[in-house]
Amino acid sequence: MFERFRAFLEGITGSARIEAGDPRIAVIGLCFQVMEADGAVRSSERRKMRKLIKEHYKLDDAALNALVAAGESAESEAIDFYQFTSDIKRHLPEEQRIELVGMLWEIVYADGARSEMEDHVIWRIADLLGVSGRDRVLKRQEAAAKIDMVEENEAQQES
């Protein structure tokens, strides 16, 4: 009875309940580790991450904020990638892990540049997730192509 009442209240208030061990926390933790790889977390990267997470998990703003806060907190306590990748590997099938690598590449390209450190971090994460080098490179190329398409569309709109 109490559980149904709590669920009812959460539905009314829109509050987001984030449980320990939620693999989405690990996903966001990895996003922050990728954003920090080049030494600076840019607002464009943060906006891209929030947009991708919101769309992928179909979250409202309150749930997104709660999840991002939980992921950022978990990342600040993490000592390596393994903590997150092992959790994700247990919970997500291969195709979703490959999509996650694509999401990480989109975050890398959000600031318009890709650094050697970002390459290395994603290579290491993909390896720990069991994502092949081929899939990692394909996802990088897809993310880069999206940036090129956006730039082309913006240039055409300005003309």
Q: Which of 142, 136, 120, 128 is nearest to 26 (CA)?
A: 128
pLDDT band at 78 (very low <50, low <70, confident <90, very high): confident
As a whole number of angstroms, the distance between CA 147 and CA 153 comes to 10
- Which pair of tokens denotes residue 70? 């939980």
As a whole number of angstroms, the distance between CA 55 and CA 110 comes to 16
Report CA dihedral (120, 115, 103, 44) to the nearest 10 degrees. 150
Alpha-carbon torsion (3, 6, 11, 17), positive or negative: negative
Cβ distance 87 to 28 under 8 Å? no
What does pTM read for this prediction? 0.81
pLDDT surpassing 50 at residue 7 = no
Task: Over range 1-18, report the average pLDDT.
Answer: 45
Would you tell me how many other CB atoms lie within 10 Å of the CB of residue 79?
A: 6
pLDDT digits (tens, 9 = 90+) for 52-61: 999 999 999 9
